[in-house]
Every structure is written in structure tokens, then in C-alpha cells.
Homo-oligomer: A and B are copies of this chain.
């Protein structure tokens, strides 16, 4: 079915990504890769001639990565500050007593855990500073930050369940709650399977090879679910609390400062998700030993600490 020519060998370039329409500067990198695998002298010279622009392209790639990563960090801080300010200043602060103040933990913990910490843990391996020989500390950090994100998400769910139960409100009926519970349940499953599959020494290589693409796709799916849950949740909450029928409270439709803050939080969360997706989808920003020739993670306490 495929037209003539060699099998695909895309090298996603510095400014491009691995979404299929966008590989740039690919021919040079592919030729260099091919040349390095042959013993043919003229080809080697050809590769050398091509290495200078490739090196420049890589430097450019790293600079663009750090700009993206800086944006990711700024959006992380902005999301957490926004959700904390919203719930402490406009929603009355926090408590754990079944009141509306207990509910306030829900948005704070879900945004911080299921979006910000989750997204930052997902892009951890893309930071060139973590590309040293010993991968173990970064594997443990990835698992630890993900665990912290999972714990915060579960506590965030407990906050809303307790609040609902105290008011005898049913749980898990809205589309927001369906999407949110699916994100957290899949996240818990993903963490357990990831821990068993990639960190335990007894896990065989073929299982890791099978698990890896599923792990990545599940991870991206969970991030998208989290973002959809956050946006629908913020929208729902602002309609609930800004009804404009109690003294001094302006309705949502009048766009009072709280509505502007809540809407902005939604926009920031969406932007954060898009930046994380961009970082994850760029092959050039992948940790070099996650290349196909070394595709599966090495188990903890095996090989990588030698």
C-alpha cells in the first residue's frame, strides 16, 4: 500500500515533533545515522560534513526545550497559585469538617496532584540534566512524584466524598465526576503496573517492551482526562457559587473577579497540558538511553548501578 522509497526513518528535529506532519531537517540526521552504521569511508566523510549543522540543530533543540520547560514550570506555579488564591480568598479557606471549607481542598489537591505534579513527573526524563549514566535516582524520583500526585488526588477525592456524604448528596453522578474518577482510577492502576513492570528486578524484558507504549499512551490519556475533569469542574463550581441571588454576590454572567480568576485557572490548566504534551511528543527531547536499542527500562539495582 505504501508508495516506493525506503521504509520510514523519521528523525524528529529540534523544532519539530513526532506528530507525523512535522519532522524537519530529517534527511541529514537520517543520513548521519545511516553513515555511522557503515564502514564505508566516503560515507563517513559525508557524515562528518553533516555533523556540524546537526550539532547546531541539537544545541538549538536543547535551548528550545529549556524555554518550553521554563514555560511548563511557570504555568505550574501559576495554576497552583490561582487555585489556592481562589479557594482561600474567595471560597473562605480550608477545613476538614464536612463543610464547604472541606470541599475547597478538592480543587486545590486535584489541580496540584492530578495536573501539575503529574505533568511535571511525566516530563522529568526529558530534562537533559537528568541524562547521566545513573538513571536510578530519576526513576525513583519519577515514581515518588507520581506517588505524591496520586496521594494528593486521592485525598482530594476524599474531601469531596466526605463533603457530599455530610450533606447527603449522591456521589459520582455528573460527567465531571465520571471523567475525574476515571482519571484517578487509571492513574492508580498506571502507578501500580508501572512500579511492577519497570522497577521490580524480576520483571522480564519482553514485558517491559510490551508495557512501554501502553504506559505512554495511558499516561497521555490520564493527563487529558485530568484536564477535561478540571475544566468541567471549575465551570460547574462557578455556576454553583456565583448564582447572584444572595446578598452582595454577583452572578457568574456578570464576570466578577472570582469568575475571571476561575476562568483564567481553566485556561492556564489547558495551556499547561498542551506544553506537557508538546514536550512529551518531541523525540529529540527524549532521554538517549530510551532509544529503541535500549528501549525498556533497566530494573532497579540491576545494570544501571554497575
Which A residues have a C-beta under 8 Å from some C-beta of B? 1-3, 5-12, 15-27, 29-38, 40, 43, 54, 58, 62, 128, 131, 169-170, 173-176, 178-179, 209, 212-213, 215-217, 220-221, 224-225, 227-228, 231-232, 234-236, 238-239, 252-255, 259, 262-263, 266-267, 270, 273-274, 277-278, 280-286, 288-293, 295
Picked from B37, B220, B227, the residue with its CB within 8 Å of the CB of A228 is B227
| CB–CB A231/B175 < 8 A | yes
Interface centre among A34, A36, A40, by most chain B C-beta atoms within 10 angstroms, is: A34
Most chain B beta carbons < 10 A, residue from A19, A176, A216: A19
Q: Which residue of B lies closest to A255 (CB)?
A: B173
Q: A37-B31, A231-B232 are in contact. Are A26 and B224 (CB under 8 A)?
A: no
Q: Which residue of B lies closest to A216 (CB)?
A: B21
Which residues does chain B contribute within 8 Å of A1, judged by CB atoms?
Answer: 58, 62, 128, 131
Given A22-B213, A30-B33, 7 extra CB contacts under 8 A:
A1-B131, A5-B36, A8-B11, A31-B37, A174-B238, A175-B267, A178-B266
- Asked if B128 and A176 sit within 8 Å, CB to CB, the answer is no
CA distance A284 to B220 in the complex (A): 20
Which chain B residues border A29 with CB–CB below 8 Å?
7-9
B-side contacts of A24, CB under 8 Å = 209, 213, 292, 295
Cβ–Cβ contact A21 & B286, under 8 A: yes
Query: What residues of chain B lie closer than 8 Å to A212, measured between beta carbons?
Result: 21-22
Smallest Cβ distance from A11 to chain B, in angstroms?
5
22 A-B interface contacts by CB (under 8 A): A1-B131, A2-B288, A6-B33, A8-B11, A10-B18, A10-B283, A17-B213, A18-B281, A19-B217, A20-B216, A21-B290, A22-B212, A24-B209, A34-B34, A173-B252, A173-B253, A174-B263, A175-B263, A221-B274, A231-B231, A232-B232, A235-B235
